[in-house]
Every structure is written in C-alpha cells, then in structure tokens.
Amino acid sequence: MPITLLLVDDHVVVRQGLRMLLAARDDIVIVGEADDGAEAVRRARELQPNVILMDLLLPTMSGIEATRQIRTQQLPCTVIMLTSTVQSTHIQDAIRAGAAGYVLKTTNAQALIDAIHRAARGQRVLDPIAVDALMDGMTRSDALEELTAREHEVLRVLALGRSNAEIATSFSISEATVRSHVTNLLNKLGLRDRIHATLFALKRGIISLDDIG
C-alpha cells in the first residue's frame, strides 16, 4: 500500500515542485492539497492521509495550530513540518503541538522521501540543522536561568542601547561593575557582543521593537 500524502503550503510553486518530485513514485500518493491551516485541518479530516507535509507559516491558521487541532481531533495522520524556519522556539512549539517531524525546505529529495517513509512508520524525523538549532536554543534557555537578577536587569537595559555609564547611573553601581556584569552575562549566554545580546533579548521577548523605538 502506498503512503497517502497531503501537501499544505500557501505557495503554489512549492506544492507544484513537490508534486513533480513525487509524481514518478509508486510508494507515495498525493491525495490532496491545502493552502492555509484551516483548510489543512478540514482536508485532514476529510482525506485522513498517512502523512501531512505542513508548512509552518500559513495564512488563517499557522501550521503549528493546525497540527495541534489535527492531534486534538485524534486524526490518524502524522505531521511533518516542512519549512524554511529554524528558530528553536518554532521547533519546540511544533513538537509540542504533535508534529512527528521537522524538515527544512533546503533538504535534498531523497532525504525528504526517507523522512516521509520514516514518519509513516511512526518514527520521529528531525533535520540535522533543526537538531542543532533546537539544542542551541535549549542550551541558551537554560543559560538564561543561570543569570542573576542583576544580570537580567543589565541585559535588558543593555539591549535597549544604554551605555555602561548610563547603566551604572541607573543602578547606582560603578562602570567597572557594569563591565563585569556584561562580561558574565555574555559568557553565560554564549553571545559575542552587545549586538548579539540585543538580538537575543528580542528573540526571547525580554524587549520588543517598541521598547527600542
């Protein structure tokens, strides 16, 4: 019996490319398509394919929320996130939602086919690049918990663009102490400099773009 497959992506070109890739195979049959998350849930309920290739960033409803609803409805479908996004938070959210796989669109054809087969057999599939991003994100998340309360405070104001002198004045401490806090928090988080600290703070929600503005 061939593996039945549902394609979910809001880009027609991507879906056409996947159809062309799999058209010559007799072990995988594409039974349907959807171009947004809400339609993906409806099509999954209607077609009940073995595997769903689900994009993460979709209109109407995200791929993660669509996956969550598919799992909540206990549909007999295995979801593989097929995306270009490698943020560790997205990978974690996808896995928590019930996705069995996370594969990047840059993967080669054979690796994607292998992933479909493995997912159909009930195995988890994670792109090596996604694994690296996940591990890096987990490491940095743990490191964030190791910061002292003062280092958290310094990280936030540092990310807002404050100089060492301004930070020292804000907390009534010396600039030497500020430099020590900055060095410690950069080392704990594995960050190279203040720019990377700002990007990290934005990603982790410690500050927002509105704060910077």
Angle at 8 between CA 3 and CA 13, to 5 degrees: 105
Give residue 133's pLDDT band: very low, low, confident or very high (50, 70, 90).
low
Model pLDDT, residue 173? 94
The mean per-residue pLDDT over the stretch 115-140 comes to: 75
Instruction: Name the most confidently modeled range: 103-107, 128-132, 135-139, 187-191.
Output: 103-107
CATH class (in words) of the domain with range 147-212: mainly alpha
**Contact between 54 and 65 (Cβ < 8 Å):** no
State residue 212's pLDDT score: 67
Q: What is the 3-state secondary structure (H, E, C) of the chain?
A: CCEEEEEECCCHHHHHHHHHHHCCCCCEEEEEEECCHHHHHHHHHHHCCCEEEECCCCCCCCHHHHHHHHHHCCCCCEEEEEECCCCHHHHHHHHHHCCCEEEECCCCHHHHHHHHHHHHCCCCEECHHHHHHHHHHHHHHHHHHHCCHHHHHHHHHHHCCCCHHHHHHHHCCCHHHHHHHHHHHHHHHCCCCHHHHHHHHHHCCCCCHHHHC
- Give ranges for CATH 1.10.10.10 in the chain: 147-212
Average pLDDT over residues 158-168: 92
Topology of 3-127 in CATH? Rossmann fold (3.40.50)
pLDDT of residue 77: 95
Whether the CB-CB separation of 10 and 51 falls below 8 Å is answered with no
Higher pLDDT residue, 88 or 90? 90
User: Hey, what are 87's tokens?
Assistant: 């943020």
Select from 196, 183, 100 the least CA-distant residue to 147: 183
Q: What pLDDT was estimated at residue 130?
A: 64
- HEC string of 35-56? CCHHHHHHHHHHHCCCEEEECC
pLDDT digits (tens, 9 = 90+) for 165-211: 999 999 999 999 999 999 999 888 878 888 888 888 887 778 887 77
Reported confidence tier of residue 132, pLDDT bands at 50, 70, 90: low
Is the pTM above the cut of 0.75? no
Query: Residue 36: what are its φ and ψ, rounded to 5°?
Result: -155, 165
Residue extent(s) of CATH 3.40.50.2300 domains in the chain:
3-127
Half-sphere exposure (CA, 13 Å, Cβ side) for 64?
Answer: 11
